[in-house]
Amino acid sequence: MPSDLPSDARILVVDDHVEMGRMLQEPLADAGWTVDLATGGQEALTLIRSRVYDAVLTDLRMEKVDGLDVLAAAHAVDAELPVLLMTAFGGVESAVEAMRRGAYHYFTKPFRLDEVRLYLGRALEDRRLRAEHRALKSQERSGLGALVGKSAPMRGLYELIDRVAHAAAPVLLRGESGSGKELVARALHFEGPRAAGPFVAVNCTALPGPLLESELFGHVKGAFTGATSVRRGLFVEAHGGTLFLDEIGDMPTELQARLLRVLEDGEVRAVGSDASRTVDVRVVAATHQDLEARVREGRFRADLFYRLNVVTLRVPSLKERREDIPQLVEHFTARSRARNPRSRVTSLSPEVVAALGAMPWPGNVRELENLVERLVVLVPRETVTLEDLSPHAPVPEPVSPLAQAQEGVWTLRKLEGEYIHWMVQHCGGNKTRAAELLGIDVSTIHRRERER
């Protein structure tokens, strides 16, 4: 096969004349592609619904189920699946109809095998480029670059992501709501070998059980009331990529067994179908709940927990990484300004940033981002002050460094530096007054702040 044509693709050849099908199957397989042969339209429909293909080459004129039926079924499963048609009954009308319905190309028998290889290669390359384009759009601020912070907990998380991203095992992300677990899941995807594949996310609490089952595994037409068309499901959509299952602890127990089957066998079965379909998907799950407790209570399957818990990453809460708040504020301010170009806000004052650093943040990074955007939208001046902050968030007293030190072991020098910083906050940012109360020079305050 010419070196400029894509390899490692799976193609379905459909022809009710077995000899013709084999005549195409063998040279296409010799070209480096995996080629399945369906000896008729009905068999083709079964294969399309049970396997993932990169292209379909089908005869147009076949009994009972013709090439246009195969085209429709292929696009019902995957709207971008390239379908190439061939017929001995060439003519403008059939060609126009096939192209109108979305055929990638149209061959008239007799045709040359090198022509078929050429157009199949083009179709596969177009499909690959579309997938890469989608991945690049999604990848913008989606890898490690989307994670903001230089604190010790975040540096440790970055190192783990770098190691785990290239593994194939499922990953369980644990951490409080709003701490950024989906950003970590995206980083695992885009820093690993599946970056060119799809990243698909679903919140397991957002849909009731029956709808979540259909969303994940798909359904066939007529599987239930309202199932007026085929749905391929998120596992199939994520083929070759990553499926992120957020809040996995809330998944209904009746679906947990089906999820376990996919993790163990790599096969999914649509609701109402009697055929399974092989998928290649890495699962990343996330929860803020105590899954061990839910296992003991019988609300989460132990076997599923052990299968998901192969690799666990803990995403730190915002209170564990308060030193990242200034960088996060800067990042969220810039992003909010981009979304709200009429805003006059360019920065938050140091006093505001200090006040934000002392807040409890039960909603974690998500809560901080929402507050920053609210300030960017509503404050009618360039710099946000404490007076601007008061109506939108309570301004607490600065947290005592002794209270903070109880969360971990601090050195004496760190405690001293935090006490100096606390005193500056207590004085409303007036470093001269803070220096007087502390009995030190202002230059000492500047030096110790640079060391923080």
Q: Taking residues 77-94, report their average pLDDT.
A: 79
pLDDT at site 2: 40
Is pLDDT of 188 > 90? Answer: yes
Share of the chain above pLDDT 70, in %: 88
How confident is the model over 134-152, as pLDDT tens digits? 655 544 445 677 789 989 9
Here the CATH number for the domain that contains residue 69 is 3.40.50.2300
Name the band, by pLDDT with cuts 50, 70 and 90, for residue 1: very low
pLDDT at site 285: 97
Is 202:234 a contact under the CB 8 Å cutoff?
yes
Q: Taking residues 143-169, report their average pLDDT.
A: 89
Alpha-carbon Rg of the chain, whole angstroms?
29
Q: Taking residues 62-79, report their average pLDDT.
A: 88
Between the alpha carbon of residue 262 and those of residues 240, 243, 271, 280, 310, the distances in Å are: 14, 12, 14, 10, 15
Q: Examine residue 2 and state whether it is found in any structural domain, yes or no.
A: no
Between the alpha carbon of residue 336 and those of residues 262, 339, 357, 363, 377, the distances in Å are: 40, 5, 19, 18, 8
Q: Taking residues 205-224, report their average pLDDT.
A: 84
**Structure-block tokens of residue 329:** 């504020």
Give 240 or 89, the one with higher predicted confidence.
240
Residue among 309, 326, 330 nearest 151 (CA): 326
Of 208-212, 223-227, 288-292, the least confident:
223-227
pLDDT at site 355: 87
Share of the chain above pLDDT 90, in %: 45
Q: Examine residue 46 and state whether it is found in any structural domain, yes or no.
A: yes
The count of structural domains within the chain is 4
Same domain, 157 and 86: no
Residue among 180, 187, 186 nearest 364 (CA): 180
Here the CATH number for the domain that contains residue 426 is 1.10.10.60
Give 242 or 145, the one with higher predicted confidence.
242
Is pLDDT of 365 > 90? Answer: yes
Give 391 or 160, the one with higher predicted confidence.
160
3-state class of 73 per DSSP? helix
Same domain, 215 and 348: no
Q: Taking residues 154-170, report their average pLDDT.
A: 93
Same domain, 338 and 377: yes
Same domain, 72 and 176: no
3-state class of 148 per DSSP? coil
Is pLDDT of 375 > 50? Answer: yes
Here the CATH number for the domain that contains residue 238 is 3.40.50.300
Of 21-35, 306-320, 348-362, 436-450, the least confident:
436-450
Name the band, by pLDDT with cuts 50, 70 and 90, for residue 435: confident
Same domain, 286 and 231: yes
Give 242 or 361, the one with higher predicted confidence.
242
Same domain, 337 and 425: no
Name the band, by pLDDT with cuts 50, 70 and 90, for residue 210: confident
pLDDT at site 145: 72
Give 120 or 52, the one with higher predicted confidence.
120
Looking at 341, 364, 389, the residue that finishes a domain is 389
Same domain, 164 and 306: yes
Same domain, 86 and 149: no
Which range is most confident: 84-93, 281-290, 351-360? 281-290
Burial zone of 248 (CB within 10 Å; 0-12 exposed, 13-18 middle, 19+ buried): buried
Q: Examine residue 395 and state whether it is found in any structural domain, yes or no.
A: no
Is pLDDT of 4 > 50? Answer: no
Here the CATH number for the domain that contains residue 374 is 1.10.8.60
Q: Quote the CA–CA distance of 41 and 121 in Å, as a whole number.
A: 23
pLDDT at site 129: 78
Q: Taking residues 212-217, report their average pLDDT.
A: 90
Same domain, 264 and 322: no
Q: Examine residue 412 and state whether it is found in any structural domain, yes or no.
A: yes
Q: Examine residue 204 and state whether it is found in any structural domain, yes or no.
A: yes
Q: Taking residues 413-432, report their average pLDDT.
A: 73
pLDDT at site 294: 93
Same domain, 356 and 441: no
Query: Mean pLDDT score of the chain, rounded to an integer?
Result: 85
pLDDT at site 369: 92
Q: Examine residue 394 and state whether it is found in any structural domain, yes or no.
A: no
DSSP secondary structure string for all residues of 208-245: -HHHHHHHHH-B-TTSSTT--S-B--HHHHTTTSEEEE
Is pLDDT of 404 > 80? Answer: no
Is pLDDT of 215 > 50? Answer: yes
Q: Examine residue 366 and state whether it is found in any structural domain, yes or no.
A: yes
Domain assignment of residue 73, given as a range: 10-132
Same domain, 322 and 304: no
pLDDT at site 406: 54
Is pLDDT of 415 > 80? Answer: no
Same domain, 265 and 153: yes
Specify the pairing of strand 276-278 against strand 267-269.
antiparallel
Q: Examine residue 1 and state whether it is found in any structural domain, yes or no.
A: no
pLDDT at site 135: 55
Looking at 258, 281, 314, the residue that finishes a domain is 314
Q: Quote the CA–CA distance of 387 and 408 in Å, as a whole number.
A: 33
Kindly tell me the sign of the dihedral angle through the C-alpha atoms of 72, 77, 80, 85.
Answer: negative
pLDDT at site 400: 56
Name the band, by pLDDT with cuts 50, 70 and 90, for residue 123: very high
How confident is the model over 303-345, as pLDDT tens digits? 999 999 999 999 999 999 999 999 999 999 988 988 888 899 9
Looking at 132, 159, 183, the residue that finishes a domain is 132
